[in-house]
């Protein structure tokens, strides 16, 4: 346990080492936030209070998604993949801490760095230019918890994809499939409240909803009391399931791994 806070810290340091690069990325996130906000406003102009959102909620939602792109790494990928490909993972498996715990700590560090550098600009710009629903203090506290859980769910999914490397030797196929799922079912492309009927119900229950839709709804104050606890429990449940699956696959991978070379 003692080493994991350091792994977190070095992950954080590594991902805050190039602030200029992160700033330019967040500039693009902000631009996309603007364009998507206009598109959503046009829809809400025709359908006010669609899915229980006011126009101001839709716009705020849109900028939250842009702020969360970096932290929950919606486009997927993890450094572990490359280490499995080139065999460095053997070193990771030597370590006196578990593979999954090590990479979770590293990923939480990365997410924290990304949150610090990339979340601010889109939220700030959105709040200045568009009608914006700032969160109440208690919602902000809940949002912090929801974001940590969202990153954990995202890690759980990406870790499973990365471990697929042990069997497939190439992660691009899996990567592409999960990219489609995570972009579409997280609320990244459109808020899930726009999805009609059954599709919307299913989308709300899938783990990808825990990455963006749920934290955004917490930010907007759509949950109170027991509902809020339920939303966080939904995220925590998916995180637990995915981490447990990850632990099982790690065990199997340990038996599977053959390190080539001398």
Partner 1 sequence: MADTVRMYGLLVWAWIRAAAQYPVSMVLLALATAVVTGLDVAAIVLLFSQAPRIAGFAAPEVLFLYGTSALAFGVSDILLGTTERLGYHVRQGTLDAMLVRPVSPLVQIATEEFSPRRFGKLVPAVLVLAYALANADVPWTPGRVAMVPVMVLSGTAIFGGLWVLTGAMQFVLIDSHGASKSVTYGGAFLTQYPMTMFARDFVRGVTFAVPLAFVNWQPALYVLDRPDPLGLPAAARFASPAVAVLVCALGAVAWRAGLRHYRSTGS
Question: Could you list the residues that contact partner 1 (CB under 8 A)?
Answer: 18, 20-28, 30-32, 34-35, 38-39, 41-43, 45-47, 50, 170, 172-173, 176-177, 179-180, 183-184, 189-190, 194-196
Minimum CB distance to partner 1, residue 91 (Å): 25
Residue 178 C-beta: closest distance to partner 1, Å: 10
**DSSP, res 32:** H
Residue 187 or 221 having the CB closest to partner 1? 187
| Residue whose CB is less far from partner 1, 4 or 127 | 127
- Say if CB 62 and CB 37 are below 8 A apart: yes
Phi-psi region of 141 (alpha: psi -120 to 50; beta: other; left: phi over 0): alpha
Nearer residue to partner 1 within complex by CB, 196 or 262: 196
To 10 degrees, what angle do helices 120-129 and 19-46 make?
40
How far is 200 from 31, CA to CA, in rounded Å? 27
* 233: Cα separation from own chain's centroid: 17
For the bound state, the minimum distance from the C-beta of residue 122 to partner 1, rounded and expressed in Å, comes to 12
> Least CB distance from residue 93 to partner 1, whole Å?
27
170 sits in the region (left: phi over 0; alpha: psi -120 to 50; else beta) called beta
End-to-end CA distance of the chain: 31
Q: Which is nearer to partner 1, 1 or 180 (CB)?
A: 180
**Considering the complex, what minimum distance in angstroms separates the CB of residue 87 from partner 1?**
20
155, 241 Cβ separation under 8 angstroms: no
């Amino acid at each position: 346990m003692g080493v994991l806070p350091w792994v977190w810290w070095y992950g954080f340091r590594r991902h805050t080492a190039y602030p200029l690069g992160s700033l330019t990325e967040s500039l693009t996130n902000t631009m996309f936030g603007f364009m998507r906000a206009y598109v959503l406003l046009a829809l809400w102009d025709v359908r006010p209070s669609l899915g229980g959102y006011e126009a101001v909620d839709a716009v705020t939602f849109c900028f939250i998604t842009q702020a969360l792109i970096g932290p929950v790494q919606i486009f997927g990928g993890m450094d572990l993949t490359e280490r499995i490909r080139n065999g460095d993972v053997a070193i990771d498996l030597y370590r006196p801490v578990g593979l999954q715990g090590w990479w979770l700590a590293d990923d939480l560090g990365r997410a924290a760095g990304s949150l610090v550098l990339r979340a601010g600009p889109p939220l700030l710009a959105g709040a200045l230019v568009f009608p914006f629903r700032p969160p109440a203090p208690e919602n902000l506290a809940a949002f912090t918890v929801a974001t940590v859980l969202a990153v954990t769910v995202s890690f759980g999914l990406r870790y499973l994809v990365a471990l697929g490397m042990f069997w497939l030797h190439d992660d691009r196929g899996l990567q592409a499939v999960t990219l489609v799922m995570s972009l579409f079912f997280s609320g990244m492309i459109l808020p899930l409240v726009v999805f009609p009927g059954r599709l919307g119900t299913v989308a709300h229950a899938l783990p990808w909803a825990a990455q963006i839709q749920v934290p955004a709804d917490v930010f907007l104050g759509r949950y109170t009391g027991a509902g809020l606890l339920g939303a966080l429990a939904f995220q925590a449940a998916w995180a637990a399931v995915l981490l447990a699956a990850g632990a099982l696959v790690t065990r199997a991978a340990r038996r599977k791994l053959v390190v080539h070379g001398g």
